[in-house]
């Protein structure tokens, strides 16, 4: 199944310090950028055809893959000046690099790669900046069995905030961690059918336009997941992932357990 990755946004909250103007998907976690970790997740489950929706920072993303160095994350033997790899990451991947505009919305980026999805009843999509260990085959299977037009992974809202229940007299009745409430947010992992294109107008949004219309028609499924899920909206979130990687604490790296 093909995987569409939205990796053309500005990611302004991430562009500070040594990271400079690198787009968010190119921010490092360990020796590799975020987008690589997301792609390895999909490849682990056998989905190795990728369509990159490029925009801001397109050249950096292209250069990374054009100059990809397997020795950075694989064991190898150096013999007489020749490198013998003992493993490989992307040798069996197919990657389409498609410039979808610098200012385009997520929905418009998806519309602009529609030709690359012709003949595919279903496809996967991702924001390329969120890591998880969710059971992808199960999400796909549920959508297939349901016959719905699309599915998204729903996760508890991140953060350490607590919701306060206040009575009319001002007394507090209950304090509940937001993660323990029956609230769910979009987790950024989608399984979609071609039907989604019927509901995204020009310059429209994947979630607000496409998924919302599917939901109105009873055609959208959610896969609630309370397992490992980490966004990288800020520098601190990315740095925490990098530190976790250095400690060997990387639940999203399912390929390392194989």
DSSP at 211:
I
First to last CA, the chain: 21
Distance of CA 39 to the CA centre of its chain: 8
- What residues have CB less than 8 Å from 249, skipping those under 6 apart? none
Tokens of 52: 């990159």
Q: Is residue 210 a contact partner of residue 107, using CB atoms and an 8 Å limit? A: yes
The CATH number, out of the four listed (3.40.50.300, 3.90.550.10, 1.10.260.40, 2.40.160.20), of the domain defined by the range 2-156+185-256? 3.90.550.10
157-161, 167-171, 253-257: which range is least confident on average? 157-161
Q: Are 222 and 151 in contact, with CB atoms under 8 Å apart?
A: yes
Render pLDDT for 133-166 as a digit per residue (tens, 0 to 9): 999 999 999 999 999 999 999 999 887 788 899 9
Per-residue pLDDT tens digits for 174-224 = 998 887 888 899 999 999 999 999 999 999 999 999 999 999 999 999 999
**Digit-coded pLDDT (tens) for 42-78:** 999 999 999 999 999 999 999 999 999 888 888 999 9
Give the dihedral sign, CA 170/175/178/183: negative
Q: Average pLDDT of the chain?
A: 92
CB count in 10 Å sphere of residue 157:
11
pLDDT above 50: residue 17: no
pLDDT, one tens digit per residue, over 217-253 is 999 999 999 999 999 988 999 999 999 999 999 999 9
The string of pLDDT tens digits covering residues 90-99 is 989 999 999 9
Predicted TM-score (pTM) of this structure: 0.89
Strand partners, 99: 54
- Helix, strand, or coil here: 189? strand
């Amino acid at each position: 199944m093909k995987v569409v990755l939205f990796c053309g946004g500005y990611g302004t909250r991430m562009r500070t310090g040594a990271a400079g103007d690198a787009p968010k998907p190119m921010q490092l976690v360990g020796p590799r950028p975020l987008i690589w970790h997301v792609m390895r997740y999909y490849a682990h489950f056998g989905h190795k055809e990728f369509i990159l929706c490029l925009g801001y920072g397109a050249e950096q993303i292209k250069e990374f893959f054009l100059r990809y160095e397997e020795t950075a994350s694989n064991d190898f033997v150096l013999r007489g000046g020749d490198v013998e790899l003992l493993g490989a990451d992307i040798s069996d991947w197919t990657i389409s690099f498609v410039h979808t505009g610098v200012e385009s919305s997520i929905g418009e980026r998806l519309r602009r790669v529609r030709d690359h999805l012709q003949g595919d009843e279903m496809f996967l999509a991702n924001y390329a900046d969120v890591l998880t260990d969710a059971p992808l085959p199960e999400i796909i299977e549920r959508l297939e069995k349901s016959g719905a037009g699309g599915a998204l992974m729903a996760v508890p809202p991140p953060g350490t905030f607590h919701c306060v229940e206040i009575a009319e007299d001002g007394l507090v009745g209950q304090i509940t961690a937001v993660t323990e409430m029956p609230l769910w947010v979009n987790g950024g992992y989608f399984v979609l059918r071609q039907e989604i294109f019927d509901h995204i107008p020009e310059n429209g949004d994947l979630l607000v336009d496409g998924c919302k219309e599917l939901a109105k028609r009873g055609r959208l499924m959610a896969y609630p997941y309370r397992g490992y899920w980490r966004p990288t909206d800020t520098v601190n979130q990315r740095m925490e992932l990098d530190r976790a990687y250095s400690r060997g604490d990387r639940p999203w790296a399912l390929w390392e357990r194989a």
